[in-house]
Structure 1
Amino acid sequence: MDIAGNSQTDLEATDWHALSPDQSLARAESRIDGISSAEAQRRLEDWGPNSLPEPARTSPMRRFLAQFNSGLIYFLGAAALASFMLGHVIDGAVIASVVMVNAVVGFVQEGKAEQALRAIGHLISHQAIVKRDGQRTSVPVAELVPGDIVLLEAGQKVPADARIVRSRAMSVDEALLTGESLTADKSSTAVAAKSALGDRTSMVFSGTLVKTGQATVVVTATGQATEIGKIGGMLQEVTELSTPLLRQINRFATRFTRVMLVGSILLFAFLVWGRQFEWSEALIMVVALAVGLIPEGLPAVITITLAIGVRRMAVRHAFIRKLPAVETLGAVSVICTDKTGTLTRNEMMVRHVFAGNAQVLVGGSGYAPEGDLTGAQGGPDETRIAIRELALCGLLCGDARLEQGENGWSVEGDPMEGALIAFAMKAGLDPSHERREWPRLDEIPFDATHRYMATLHRSPEGGHVVFIKGAPEVVLHMIGNPAVSKQWAELISAAAAGERLLGFATKRVDYSVKALDPDLLKTGIEPLGLAGFIDPPRPEAHDAVAQCRRAGIGIKMITGDHAVTALAIARLIRLADQPRAMTGTEIEQLDEEDLLNAVEETSVFARASPEHKLRIVKALQARGHIVAMTGDGVNDAPSLKQADVGTAMGQKGSEASREAAKMVLLDDNFASIVAAVHEGRTVYDNIRKVIAWTLPTNGGEAVIVLLAILMGFTLPMTATQILWINLVTDSALGLALAFEPSERGVMERPPRNAKAALLSAFMLWRVLLVSILFAAMSLGIFFAALDTGRSVETARTMVVNMLVGAGIFYLFSVRHLRAGPATLQGALGTKPVLLAVGAVVSAQLIFTYLPLMNRIFASRPLSISEFALILFSAAMMMLLLEGEKRFMHRLGWFEELRAVKP
């Protein structure tokens, strides 16, 4: 077969991992001493360089201008222009400033996919050692071609996807592709054609790191055809979704604009033809009224509320890269989470030990040498001796070191060997002492081909001893005892599902044996037992999962690990009542419609590739879910970008995953995601409180002015007084709501409907009711003052204070939108609320009594009785609203009120 006649895609379709080394060389039209330089150049021209294409970059100016593409921003821009045209320079400047601040914040916060692609490109090494023309030489990685023979050693990055032809004791860190922290043992032995990516032990992949050993490999794919290149291609194709809040704001702005436009036209027509106003005068009045209705401070307060949420989340170890993600977290209905290091500690530990007739459960968590050995069967002396011998074997037959630092215990070396050291310490052994007492004389290192390790030691009691550890079936074969095989088979079946097992054995030899040889291990091997390992769940993961389930948030574990192991962890943390698992191979057999049903019913997705993860996220979104997705490897980048809230790991995460994500967990902890969701719900509640407070205050002013225009009576407030009210209340009282703490039961209610309108039925009812109450009480105060002989200036001053006072008392009501028993804290308010109230009261006293302010705003000093009337009226309004809220709660008219748990 002529390789020149095949495209890169044809080669990619080959199941290289299922071919033998000789078949792989033949398929690639190569040989063990490499292709010629001329042939390499020809292939380079045919297939192109071994590099990823530079992503298309968006200019900074275009990114900045994109921040203005919003319905509310268009409306605010028109309002600013109208304000300037009418001579309301201050109003126009405030609105324009709000628009500009929002644009700058969005521009600064926004991360781009091109950064993620550049981060992926950095993972590829720069030089590779190859064989060409029968000679060993170094070439730039970009010049590698399919068929090249590459020589790999420990510490090198794999420069391209390749099939192993020869190897010795080779292991590769593939975490960036599979998400698994344990290194993958590699060999030249072919595996099944349908093997998942993590099971293709005869392959190495571009960007991964060789940890141990050496190998000779034949390149099978370069550039975009590599596994890492495919991820870059998927990342380019993913389109980021708008956040639920932005969609709600845009819908609100569109509808608000339509209502304002229709209302303005009708009012203009009435004034011109019904009241015989000059058209220019009517236009000024209509535009002034429209500008007065616009909640120009709302975007700024929303931005500040989101920023406060960012600060609160940072305290809880969640760093927000994109500001709208703060609120999106509050709408999350499904969390797709990795297993290793997120739900688990990413620290192996011995969980069960089977030695002699003893079956022991090992307590503790992770590498910390703390925990009891319980559940022993058999005599105490027999159990103690059997456990000690196995622990000693695990301690001495390994090269790892366990160390205690500022951040706790950690392992230098193989994680499973570190877990054996911790187990030995739990069994009462001192590693330093035992290593001195049992000096090592020789060893057979672990190799993927023979799957065991053996060490020769001088015994303190005389003679030499060989300790062996390895795959249970390999150790059993070395023992060669049918009775032991039967016993171990029973022990293995009794082990907890999902544990990784190691077998242990020993052999005593005389002083003449100074070196180890595999032939020495063919006879006389005595069994010591088995040990089962797990990566234990984080202590806080169980509670965090339970909190999610109470909050109506589904959890999907998506991992590169095996299904049995993942299911074991899922059961330990109660991911679901009866968690079900599905493998990547099974996902590939489903069409899109079947996958939509499967994602709802399945809790664990194992052996998942980047394509699988992306399909799962898209299927959940197609079902209407708001999805948070965690990941740490390059393989997670496409699904992180696709998710509504992509969440990368701050400690072990790759640069590509962090660039593609909207949030980064500083502690890689699932509990921090749940804490962030809690804060996200609080942020959304506070945004709605700001809206529920802002719209009625503006609405009350608009109703007063509109009635005065329609009915022809004296305006109860001048234009400058309206500006004063908006300046004082919006800048102080409205902003205070951004600092509100979480309401009771914030994580006891189901996720909100992301498609719901920003103004729900209850919110719309509240806006209309409070606007009418504000207007009615203010007009009542105004006409009562005029009827008792007070001047228009005094009456207007009372109206201004009435509106501000009503805003203060309404603030205490709107702090708890959901019905519930009144509390002392609710009545007193938080520190920001009290500071805001104090500032507004001080400002109103200055407005009312300072002579300079009397001249500027035509205000007049008020008597104590006049202030008492205003305060009494405002307090009655708040009591009326609290009564209305509880009445509605009992009737169950609004979903928001029904959702509250008493």
Structure 2
Amino acid sequence: MALLLAAVALAVAAVPEGLPTVVTLALAVGVQRMVKGHVLVRRMQAVETLGAATVICTDKTGTLTLGVMEVREVWPPEAAHRVLEVAAACCDAELPVQGPGAGDPTELALLAAARARGVERADVERERPRVSEQPFDSDRRRMSVLRADGVLYVKGALEALLPLCWQVPPGVTEALASLAGRALRVLAVAEGRGPDERDLTLVGLVGLADPPRPEAVEAVRAAREAGVRTVMITGDHPATALAIAKELGLLREGESPEGLVHARATAEQKLQIVRGWKARGEVVAMTGDGVNDAPALREAHIGIAMGRTGAEVTREASDLILTDDNFASIVAAVREGRGIYENIRKTLVYLLAGNGGELVLMLCASLLGLPLPLLPLHLLWVNLVTDGLPALALVMDPVPPDVMRRPPRRPDEPMLGAREWGAVLATGLLDACVTLGTFLWSMERMPLEEARTLTFTVLVSCQVLRAFAARSGGLLHWEVGSFNNRPLLAVAAVTLALQVALPEVPLLAAFFSLVPLDAAHVALALGLGLIPVSVLELRKLVLRGVGRAMATPNG
């Protein structure tokens, strides 16, 4: 019977029963935090992958910029009325007299500028109804509308329109360079006769401003500090793209834009960009909003769809959805992903160290020919109150403040490396030594049941208090003023109170084969429980001091 009890006790000690629950809760908490940060998670595994992202490929308009377009300049100035009239005749957006408009932000800006010059799209539609149209797409890079007056109205990229034009105002190339160099998005407008896009007359250019999001500048900087490259992909002119990239801080002085800024990019090129980064071993996140972006989103490790402007097909292909279409939300999600991974890793170390300590305790007692220090029921209780509740509180830890100042982890890096397994072994041995020493000391001074009760209380105290060392990256949190995990505080207080009260309740004491402890022994148990956490924190203090000494010149 004693052998059977020993076998059962060893089995119970070896298994971290709370592990599946802990991992599930960690991901669930992360998903909840991401929702508050305007990120909807469609696939749970993307949460963990996002923390390892090394490259974020992002659209410019509406993600890095405000997405609120405004016409800043029309060229040539003397033909501004005609330029805007042609542009308004080639729009699908609706701009009512009162209230917000509906449609593409660029077209809304064109209609607003045209209205300021007395041109209303509603009048154009009434007087010259459209006969046919060829919508804009990323391959053609232009849109055309044939109206009842026989005129074909065309707008799009200048490079796409120039080959179709037989009349071009002088100085158009210089005007394009001037507008694009000032970070303006440039649209060319042209007109012709008949349904075919040929023999057109270039009417002029429109320069539109889409200012960078203020928070995007900080987000790009934070991503750079975290070792994450930001790759801007846009349909704008290369000069416009470069100017905005510099405004955002995406390109610093002297840096080459190669690989980081892609202008006039098509859907196929987006797919090739993602594949190129993946071939280099990078973990790629890709944003998109159009139907043509879906293949690139599926190809990336993390596909991110736009929630406001994204097509339904793109959302279906994505892992995450941005509800505010903001690049800063992506960087915040990367931070959250890293925090989730860190919380899971430190909780695993805590759980495995606890079970390792229990296993070593029971094995050593068996090898020394001692009675069982703890019964199987005691170990089940330990796993319930120390493996379960503190571990669940640990995964709710706030994200470490320095997590975005660390480089991304390697994709092939195991969650528990040599450092973590070393911590598991050392911590487990420390717990086992304290509890085994307690059992050997108490056996000489008190009956077996009382010795077990004291050992039982010491083990619970060791593991509960050690949870604070598990969450601390340096000194104890109360020493650095960031003792901010309230669930863990509550769990520790309640668990220790329950443990002290357990032998005092006759029914529970009989069920667990415990006897009441006097106040001196309770104080001793709590004091011994402070040994592992104190040793671990002193070790961190020593290592921090050594690190500072090595970092100091001549130190």
Q: Please indicate the TM-score interval, normalised by the length of the shorter structure.
A: 0.7 to 0.9
- What aligned pairs does 1:1-150 form with structure 2 within 5 A after superposition? none
Contact 1:627 1:645 in 2 (8 A): yes
- The aligned counterpart of 2:270 is 613
In structure 1, C-alpha distance between the alignment counterparts of 2:496 and 2:403, rounded to whole Å: 32
Matched letter for residue 179 of structure 2: A
- The aligned counterpart of 1:240 is none
Three-state SS of the structure 1 residue aligned to 2:44 is coil
2:512 paired with 1:857: yes
- The aligned counterpart of 1:574 is 249
In structure 2, C-alpha distance between the alignment counterparts of 1:300 and 1:639, rounded to whole Å: 34
Contact 2:52 2:283 in 1 (8 A): yes
2:451 paired with 1:799: no
Matched letter for residue 856 of structure 1: F
Contact 1:579 1:603 in 2 (8 A): no
2:487 paired with 1:766: no
Quick one: structure 1 residues 479 and 609, their matched pair in 2 at CA, closer, same or farther if it must change by over 3 Å? closer
* 1:353 positional shift: 5.6
Contact 1:391 1:423 in 2 (8 A): no
- What aligned pairs does 1:415-564 form with structure 2 within 5 A after superposition? 415-416=105-106, 418-420=108-110, 422=112, 431=116, 485=170, 491-497=175-181, 499-501=184-186, 531-560=206-235, 562-564=237-239
Contact 2:69 2:105 in 1 (8 A): yes
Matched letter for residue 496 of structure 1: A
- What aligned pairs does 1:283-298 form with structure 2 within 5 A after superposition? 285=6, 289-298=10-19
2:549 paired with 1:874: no
Three-state SS of the structure 2 residue aligned to 1:557 is strand
- The aligned counterpart of 1:332 is 53
In structure 1, C-alpha distance between the alignment counterparts of 2:143 and 2:524, rounded to whole Å: 92
- The aligned counterpart of 2:138 is none
- The aligned counterpart of 1:363 is none
* 1:858 positional shift: 0.8
2:459 paired with 1:784: no
Cα shift readout 1:105-164 (whole Å, capped 9, x = no counterpart)? xxxxxxxxxxxxxxxxxxxxxxxxxxxxxxxxxxxxxxxxxxxxxxxxxxxxxxxxxxxx
In structure 2, C-alpha distance between the alignment counterparts of 1:502 and 1:655, rounded to whole Å: 28
Contact 2:354 2:387 in 1 (8 A): no
In structure 1, C-alpha distance between the alignment counterparts of 2:441 and 2:85, rounded to whole Å: 91
Quick one: structure 1 residues 684 and 479, their matched pair in 2 at CA, closer, same or farther if it must change by over 3 Å? closer
Cα shift readout 1:712-758 (whole Å, capped 9, x = no counterpart)? 11221111111111111122111111111111211111111221222
Structure 2 gaps, min length 5: 135-141, 194-202
Contact 1:567 1:580 in 2 (8 A): no
- The aligned counterpart of 2:30 is 309
* 1:332 positional shift: 1.1
Contact 2:87 2:155 in 1 (8 A): no
2:532 paired with 1:843: no
Quick one: structure 1 residues 314 and 769, their matched pair in 2 at CA, closer, same or farther if it must change by over 3 Å? same
In structure 1, C-alpha distance between the alignment counterparts of 2:54 and 2:168, rounded to whole Å: 53
- The aligned counterpart of 1:689 is 346
2:320 paired with 1:320: no
Quick one: structure 1 residues 391 and 677, their matched pair in 2 at CA, closer, same or farther if it must change by over 3 Å? farther
Q: From 304, 311, 316, give the equivalent of 1:647.
A: 304
Alpha-carbon RMSD: 4.1
* 1:796 positional shift: 1.0
* 1:410 positional shift: 4.3
In structure 1, C-alpha distance between the alignment counterparts of 2:482 and 2:460, rounded to whole Å: 18
- The aligned counterpart of 2:488 is 833
Contact 1:309 1:680 in 2 (8 A): yes
Contact 1:571 1:579 in 2 (8 A): no
Q: From 812, 822, 828, give the equivalent of 2:468.
A: 812
* 1:674 positional shift: 1.0
Three-state SS of the structure 1 residue aligned to 2:232 is strand
Cα shift readout 1:172-214 (whole Å, capped 9, x = no counterpart)? xxxxxxxxxxxxxxxxxxxxxxxxxxxxxxxxxxxxxxxxxxx
- The aligned counterpart of 1:57 is none
* 1:783 positional shift: 2.2
- The aligned counterpart of 1:736 is 393
**Does 545-554 or 571-580 show the bigger shift?**
571-580
Contact 1:320 1:326 in 2 (8 A): yes
Q: From 885, 889, 893, give the equivalent of 2:540.
A: 885
- The aligned counterpart of 2:259 is 602
Matched letter for residue 543 of structure 1: E
In structure 2, C-alpha distance between the alignment counterparts of 1:538 and 1:696, rounded to whole Å: 46
* 1:852 positional shift: 0.7
- The aligned counterpart of 1:231 is none
In structure 1, C-alpha distance between the alignment counterparts of 2:268 and 2:340, rounded to whole Å: 33
Quick one: structure 1 residues 728 and 404, their matched pair in 2 at CA, closer, same or farther if it must change by over 3 Å? farther
* 1:662 positional shift: 1.7
Matched letter for residue 333 of structure 2: A
Cα shift readout 1:268-307 (whole Å, capped 9, x = no counterpart)? xxxxxxxxxxxx9879855752452122321221111101
Three-state SS of the structure 1 residue aligned to 2:180 is coil
Matched letter for residue 846 of structure 1: A
2:68 paired with 1:411: no
Contact 2:468 2:476 in 1 (8 A): no
Q: Which has the larger radius of gyration?
A: 1
Three-state SS of the structure 1 residue aligned to 2:404 is coil
Matched letter for residue 446 of structure 2: R
Contact 1:394 1:417 in 2 (8 A): no
Contact 1:647 1:662 in 2 (8 A): yes
Three-state SS of the structure 2 residue aligned to 1:496 is helix
Quick one: structure 1 residues 494 and 633, their matched pair in 2 at CA, closer, same or farther if it must change by over 3 Å? closer
Contact 2:466 2:533 in 1 (8 A): yes
In structure 2, C-alpha distance between the alignment counterparts of 1:697 and 1:421, rounded to whole Å: 67
Contact 1:580 1:604 in 2 (8 A): no
In structure 1, C-alpha distance between the alignment counterparts of 2:531 and 2:546, rounded to whole Å: 23
In structure 1, C-alpha distance between the alignment counterparts of 2:55 and 2:476, rounded to whole Å: 31
* 1:710 positional shift: 1.1
Three-state SS of the structure 2 residue aligned to 1:624 is coil
In structure 1, C-alpha distance between the alignment counterparts of 2:215 and 2:505, rounded to whole Å: 58
Quick one: structure 1 residues 790 and 453, their matched pair in 2 at CA, closer, same or farther if it must change by over 3 Å? same
Matched letter for residue 544 of structure 1: A
Structure 1 gaps, min length 5: 1-279, 357-385, 425-429, 457-467, 506-516, 519-527, 582-600
- The aligned counterpart of 2:196 is none
* 1:878 positional shift: 1.8
2:28 paired with 1:344: no
* 1:847 positional shift: 1.7
* 1:450 positional shift: 12
Cα shift readout 1:754-774 (whole Å, capped 9, x = no counterpart)? 212222233222212211111
Quick one: structure 1 residues 721 and 823, their matched pair in 2 at CA, closer, same or farther if it must change by over 3 Å? closer
Cα shift readout 1:636-680 (whole Å, capped 9, x = no counterpart)? 333322322222222222333222222122222222111111111
Matched letter for residue 35 of structure 2: A
In structure 2, C-alpha distance between the alignment counterparts of 1:736 and 1:404, rounded to whole Å: 55
2:335 paired with 1:678: yes
Three-state SS of the structure 1 residue aligned to 2:430 is helix
In structure 1, C-alpha distance between the alignment counterparts of 2:475 and 2:363, rounded to whole Å: 36
Quick one: structure 1 residues 551 and 445, their matched pair in 2 at CA, closer, same or farther if it must change by over 3 Å? farther
In structure 1, C-alpha distance between the alignment counterparts of 2:143 and 2:370, rounded to whole Å: 98
Contact 2:465 2:492 in 1 (8 A): no
2:386 paired with 1:665: no
Three-state SS of the structure 2 residue aligned to 1:495 is helix
Quick one: structure 1 residues 764 and 504, their matched pair in 2 at CA, closer, same or farther if it must change by over 3 Å? closer
* 1:350 positional shift: 2.2
